[in-house]
Amino acid sequence: LLNTLVTDKNEHPIGDLDMEELAEEQCLLARFIHQLRSNVPDDQYLILTAARKILASGGSLRIKYTLPPLIFQAYQLAYKYRDLKDAKWEKKCTKIFQFCHQTITALVKAELAELPLRLFLQGALAIDQIGFENHETVAYEFMSQAFSLYEDEISDSKAQLAAITLIVGTLEQISCFSEENSDPLRTQCALAASKLLKKPDQCRGVATCSHLFWSGKSLASKGEETHDGKRVVECLKKGLRIAKQCMDISVQVQLFVELLNHYIYFFEKGNDQVDVEILNQLIKKIRDELTNLESSDEAEQITKHFNNTLTHLKLRMESPDGDRDVYKGIKLNPEDAGEMEKLDAK
């Protein structure tokens, strides 16, 4: 009954297909695939392997709709094996992720990039959470495959920024890597972010990477956050240097405001490398640059963003909570701000 949805008849060339109709049909088929379930986990695995054998013949236009549901079904099955914990559950999980790796690779061979990248990252998260035998090696393989796709297959600047943000977010959540594996991945993320095509993307990417060195986890930290304040500030200072290279003043000021918010975040998290003086210098720099902006909707939006940030600081300074003394010395008024030139030296 479903054969006509799974494959094309030979007499229908690709050029004759209605792509909207095809997408609608394949989305319905993908929903049906989620119903292929068995209460017996081992039988469920057999169903998935049989379904992949049939669906893989659908060609590149179809498998981008039909294979992802199989992959997510497989991830769910791995969680089920973890919960059941029978005698061979770890070997079964390894086999499931081999199945997922092969299935995602089929999507890569179909000249897709962003979809398999996301699936590899989702797999790495699942592997970390399930924690079967040798799971660190398998998770590293999934992460490295995602990185390879980012470096080799994604060329659009917006897609690159979105991809590196996803990679950073995934790595920040994973705690199964030893320092031998986690440190190169973090460093590679920061390096990749600094090589993005557009300067604003570089700035935002590097600033995002700073969180890897604070809230990132590893076996060395026993699953706790890394809290490497020095590396965090190195990323943020690099972001400032990149922001200054932007020719458009409005873009430059917008990036300064975004970086100020990153600095405030780490200041509030207790990073001793970020102090009141740094915040004061950056606040004054932004205030000075805002006066150079021509009146426009964009300038109004930037000013509103900056004022909202200052309002946040003011509320924290006036808070009756015990930590308000931490904010003592932050100068929100124009006449009280410090000198920006000291920022890089700091």
Specify the DSSP element, H or E, that contains 161: helix 157-173
Residues 240, 174 share a domain: yes
Residues 126, 217 share a domain: yes
Dihedral angle at the C-alpha atoms of 211, 207, 205, 242, nearest 10 degrees?
Answer: -160
pLDDT value of residue 204: 98
10-24, 102-116, 121-135, 314-328: least confident range = 10-24
pLDDT over 60 at 338, yes or no: no
Residues 219, 70 share a domain: yes
- Contacts for 315 with CB less than 8 Å, ≥ 6 apart: none
pLDDT value of residue 10: 54
Higher model confidence: residue 341 or residue 101?
101
> Once rounded to an integer, what is the mean pLDDT over residues 12-27?
76
pLDDT in tens, 280-302: 999 999 999 999 899 999 999 99
pLDDT in tens, 190-199: 999 999 999 9
Contact assessment for residue 277 and residue 338, using Cβ atoms and an 8 Å cutoff: yes
pLDDT value of residue 90: 96
pLDDT over 70 at 4, yes or no: no
pLDDT interval class at 321 (50, 70, 90): confident
CATH for 92: 1.25.40.660
Q: What phi, psi does 225 have (nearest 5°)?
A: -65, 145
Residues 260, 128 share a domain: no
Six token digits for residue 17: 């297909």
Six token digits for residue 222: 């026993």
Residues 125, 238 share a domain: yes
pLDDT value of residue 340: 41
Residues 239, 100 share a domain: yes
d(CA 120, CA 144): 9
10 Å CB burial of residue 227 (0-12, 13-18, 19+) is middle
Residues 151, 67 share a domain: yes
Query: Among residues 250, 276, 298, which one ends one of the domains?
Result: 250
25-39, 73-87, 303-317, 329-343: least confident range = 329-343
Residues 37, 110 share a domain: yes
| Residue 7 CB coordination number (10 Å) | 14
Place of tokens 């990132």: 216
Q: Between the CA of residue 257 and those of 236, 250, 261, what are the distances in Å?
A: 12, 11, 6
Contact assessment for residue 44 and residue 72, using Cβ atoms and an 8 Å cutoff: no
> Once rounded to an integer, what is the mean pLDDT over residues 136-156?
96
Six token digits for residue 170: 């995934």
How much of the chain, in percent, has pLDDT values that exceed 70? 92
Residues 225, 123 share a domain: yes
Domain of residue 206, residue span: 2-9+18-250
pLDDT value of residue 203: 98
Query: Among residues 208, 228, 250, which one ends one of the domains?
Result: 250
d(CA 338, CA 30): 59
pLDDT value of residue 222: 82
pLDDT value of residue 343: 47
Residues 91, 69 share a domain: yes
pLDDT interval class at 344 (50, 70, 90): very low
Residues 219, 170 share a domain: yes
Query: Among residues 232, 250, 268, which one ends one of the domains?
Result: 250
Domain count along the chain: 2
pLDDT value of residue 327: 85
pLDDT interval class at 186 (50, 70, 90): very high
pLDDT over 80 at 225, yes or no: yes
pLDDT over 70 at 14, yes or no: no
The amino acid at 337: A
pLDDT value of residue 339: 46
pLDDT over 70 at 221, yes or no: yes
Residues 298, 204 share a domain: no
d(CA 121, CA 143): 6
pLDDT in tens, 39-61: 999 999 999 999 999 998 888 88
d(CA 57, CA 14): 15
